[in-house]
Structure 1
Amino acid sequence: MATPYPRTLPDVLRATANARPAAQALLDGEVSLSYAELHREVQTTARALVALGIGPGDRVGIWAPNSWQWVGSALAVTYIGAVLVPLNSRYTGHEVVDIARRTRARALFVADGFLGRGQLGELRKAAAGEGGGGFPIPGLPDLVAVVRIPYPGSGDVDDALTFPELAALADGVPLETVEALADAVSPDDVADILFTSGTTGRSKGARSAHRQTVTTAREWAEHGRVGPADRYLIVNPFFHSFGYKAGILVCLLHGAAMLPQPVFDLRRTLRLIRDERVTLLAGAPTIFQALLDAPGRAERDTGSLRLAVTGATIVPVALVERMQAELGFDLVLTAYGLTEAVVATMCRPGDPAALVAGSVGRAVESYELRIGRPGGNEPQPAGVEGEVLLRGENVMLGYLDDPEATAETIDGDGWLHTGDIGRLDDRGYLTITDRLKDMFITGGFNVYPAEIEQVLARLDGVVESAAIGVPDERLGEVGMVYVVRRAGSDLTEDDVRAHCEERLANFKVPRQVAFIDELPRNLSGKVLKRGLRQATPRKEQV
């Protein structure tokens, strides 16, 4: 009889640390941790969180890039039954404050100095505008601690703990205390809240239980045939489900090695593939195209590569074939998912290159997949386009504190309305053909025009705006915004971009700005974005 998979994150970590204690779990620069050492790091951070007053059900945010500290902190949060809230490392202070207030976050791990920014300074400035008391960040009254993960250029902040100082705090809490908390975690407890922007312009927090988070990682790993010999270079950001659930947790379930990369660096990626014998790489097609086009790539040793998983945008057949022939991948798979249903479809080993490129696979075991009429859930026959609907045990529990949005997304029959348009073939393979929503994808990140438009509505001189995605050779799509200026305003493109850069993550900032006299509308007054797209010159972006 097969041993059942653990169904909570603490049990997953303990099972792997017990089964493969000496196996390498993490390699991050000069830091190398075995699974036994990773388990001890997690226990130490968990004890420190308890010493700070963090307990089951409390929300803890991580605003940082991929690193061994991210892995240890995230697992420590869920080890004591608290709820992980990953935060996009490109967010501005305003965006982090908004989510911290809405989740009533009790602690934040912050990578201060990442990319030359002063994240703690941004956080303080943004929170100060919210008013109210709070320590250590005035304006965030629920927050009891900020843990600083220092980067070069990070400043000294007297009332922010540094990551190394957690060990001293942990000394005051017995190991038995956190082990008892780990024992008490239920598969049905909320493990994490991942935020995704919505078409209303306000981000929404998708809640997932431990059982869902674990099952998602297990299904992804099984279709990719992940095993303990794999070495996974994780370029996808941990704040995204692709990097967290189809990255960290995939390795954790099977005792594979994690090699986190904070930002995609072409030369470093090629060096790591060669020196560390990387077997697994996942990400948007642009990553693989960059590897193929790298100067001198033919002389680089990529023979260790085994599995590539890609998606998020159209994948040319020629790219799949080149990945196999020139980079040496034995297996290239495409997949489809969204924050509300992390891994919904996936290709299977043995699928031909044309099928891998032309579809996003068929439903994984925990989902039913249906093409329905937009606005309903009546099934459409094979080959007919309609809205992609999903139903199953891994559909999110619901949006945080937003029952109306939850009811709009998950209907009374349990079908999740994805907002994507697609069709199924006779074998159940899904092809995504369009979007009901206006979302576009920049370098693998979802961008929602309404969020840009909401920000620009607060810029003096803007009457109204409309954002769209336009083609880009490197990133797939980038933002372009059409702006109607107030009469007499001398607003410039630089003014628009500067306003967005202060309030939005960099991948959301429009690359192009066009000023027009009025936005095209239909008879009901709705902006005709299709007309804007058709009128936009298709030129190469920089």
Structure 2
Amino acid sequence: MIFLSDKGREYTYGDLLSAVNTACSYKPLYRASGLYPYFVNFLTALVAGAPVVLLDSDLSPSELDGVDERAVNSETDLPQHVAFDNIGGLIEAVFSSQSQITIFTSGTTGQPKEVVHTVQSLSRSVRRGDKYRDSIWAFAYNPTHMAGLQVFFQAFGNGNTIVNVFNSSRDEVFAAIDAQGITHISATPTFYRLLLPCDHVCPTMRRVTLGGEKSDRQLYDSIGCIFPNAKINNVYASTEAGSLFAARGDAFRIPPELKDKFKVVDGELLIHRSLLGYSENFVFTDDFYSSGDLVEWVDETAGLFRFKSRRNELINVGGYKVNPNEVEKEITAVAGVLQAVVYGKVNSVLGNVLCAEVVKAQDCAITETDLRRYLAGRLQDFKIPRRIKFVDKLSLTRTGKLKRT
């Protein structure tokens, strides 16, 4: 059984079992250079009950606040060595592990902050059983962050094959789906927008999950065209808390048994400390943590809410707060526009000048003037970007989200 297919190289579950069984040491602070050695080191630590810190491969020394650079990727002896007769024993040992797993926030604004989790908190939403055994998972996330870890535990917990498509081109993603018969994929809305236009159909896909960014009905419809046989889910998760909600659309529902674990204050979602990992950086007010996510109630009595934006994404333009997601939604509604990112450039008069980068289809002839004229009929003047640049592709963060430069 294939464990990992990584852009031309394949590793079996037998390879993985042998690597873990023969390991006598591991790297507590691991900055991975490849997906397979990363998973081997990670699992080796977990079955030995050892702590592990997961670092992005491109983290710079300035971002490693409080981490000794000399200790990164240094080997240390395992506190105990355990060997397994079969992969089932290894899987059960991983899911019962008491290791501390330290991950970092994405660092898109400010210094990355470390958060300590356990296998139990990272795998809270994992479903295991016979009906999940034949799944084949596309791996479309950074493996050291919350979303990537959750996909890994879901796939590994059921002995599934993982196919690496992270940072792949549109053609490479479709080629992998077709060749491997991928059935499940979880990714950011930005990842799915990279698959547009809808001129390729993937009938093997059974479930598609979106998370990490705001999505919209237009994107859902496009995903439905590409993956006509798939159920489409939207998930709400964070580095601090892991996976919390799932929805068939853009409205999330707080389960009745958890209604006392959440508050909405001044439009911001607050999460009770009992649902979080641990971090010295957490600040609580009456045992609640400010998530930074701005939401709106769809039906407060039923516990239904909709995600609007991150608080730190709002752009101050002449004293007005602009939600870039709102502007991007209008831009991408234009026929022939594939993607857009809106961001602020510091300005001494206005605070920020609103800017946009736009990717359009090859046959799209829309100009900057055309786009501004279109937006003028749909947005207030201060929400219309003053600088619009057409580009071939948009920059992404290390977690695969749009980078607002």
- TM superposition score normalised by structure 2: 0.70
1:68 maps to 36
Q: When you count strand as a share of all residues, which structure comes out higher?
A: 2
1:297 maps to 200
Distance of aligned partners of 1:317 and 1:225 in 2 relative to their CA distance in 1, 3 Å threshold: farther
Q: Secondary structure at the match of 2:295?
A: strand
**Pair 1:82 & 2:71 matched:** no
**Pair 1:481 & 2:391 matched:** no
Instruction: Confirm or deny: 8 A CA contact 1:27 1:258 kept in the other structure.
Output: yes
Distance of aligned partners of 1:536 and 1:288 in 2 relative to their CA distance in 1, 3 Å threshold: closer
Q: Deviations over 1:457-486 (max 9, x none)?
A: xxxxxxxxxxx96848566535443266xx
Q: Secondary structure at the match of 1:297?
A: coil
Instruction: Confirm or deny: 8 A CA contact 1:281 1:307 kept in the other structure.
Output: yes
Q: Secondary structure at the match of 2:276?
A: coil
- Superposed displacement of residue 275, structure 1: 1.2
Instruction: Confirm or deny: 8 A CA contact 1:24 1:32 kept in the other structure.
Output: yes
Gaps of 5+ in 1: 1-22, 105-139, 147-168, 375-385, 441-448, 450-467, 485-509, 513-530
Match of 1:537 among 386, 397, 400: 386
RMSD of the TM alignment (CA)?
4.1
Distance 1:278 1:43 in 2: 29
Q: Deviations over 1:287-324 (max 9, x none)?
A: 32333416x525xxx11001111133332223323322
- Superposed displacement of residue 207, structure 1: 1.1
Q: Deviations over 1:313-341 (max 9, x none)?
A: 33222332332244224210111121101
Instruction: Confirm or deny: 8 A CA contact 2:186 2:209 kept in the other structure.
Output: yes
Percentage identity across paired residues of the two chains: 15
Spell out the pairing of 1:252-401 with structure 2 (5 A cutoff). Answer: 252-293=156-197, 297=200, 302-347=202-247, 351=248, 356=249, 358-363=250-255, 369-374=261-266, 386-391=267-272, 393-398=274-279
2:289 maps to 416
Distance of aligned partners of 1:271 and 1:198 in 2 relative to their CA distance in 1, 3 Å threshold: closer
Match of 1:248 among 145, 152, 156: 152
Instruction: Confirm or deny: 8 A CA contact 1:208 1:396 kept in the other structure.
Output: yes
1:489 maps to none
Spell out the pairing of 1:44-55 with structure 2 (5 A cutoff). Answer: 44=22, 46-49=23-26
2:117 maps to 208
1:36 maps to 14
Aligned length: 341
Distance of aligned partners of 1:174 and 1:339 in 2 relative to their CA distance in 1, 3 Å threshold: closer
Distance 1:252 1:420 in 2: 30
Distance of aligned partners of 1:342 and 1:478 in 2 relative to their CA distance in 1, 3 Å threshold: farther
Instruction: Confirm or deny: 8 A CA contact 1:234 1:282 kept in the other structure.
Output: yes
Distance of aligned partners of 1:229 and 1:265 in 2 relative to their CA distance in 1, 3 Å threshold: same
- Superposed displacement of residue 274, structure 1: 1.0
Spell out the pairing of 1:421-436 with structure 2 (5 A cutoff). Answer: 421-424=294-297, 425=299, 426-436=301-311
- TM superposition score normalised by structure 1: 0.54
Q: Secondary structure at the match of 1:396?
A: coil
Q: Secondary structure at the match of 2:143?
A: coil
**Pair 1:194 & 2:107 matched:** no
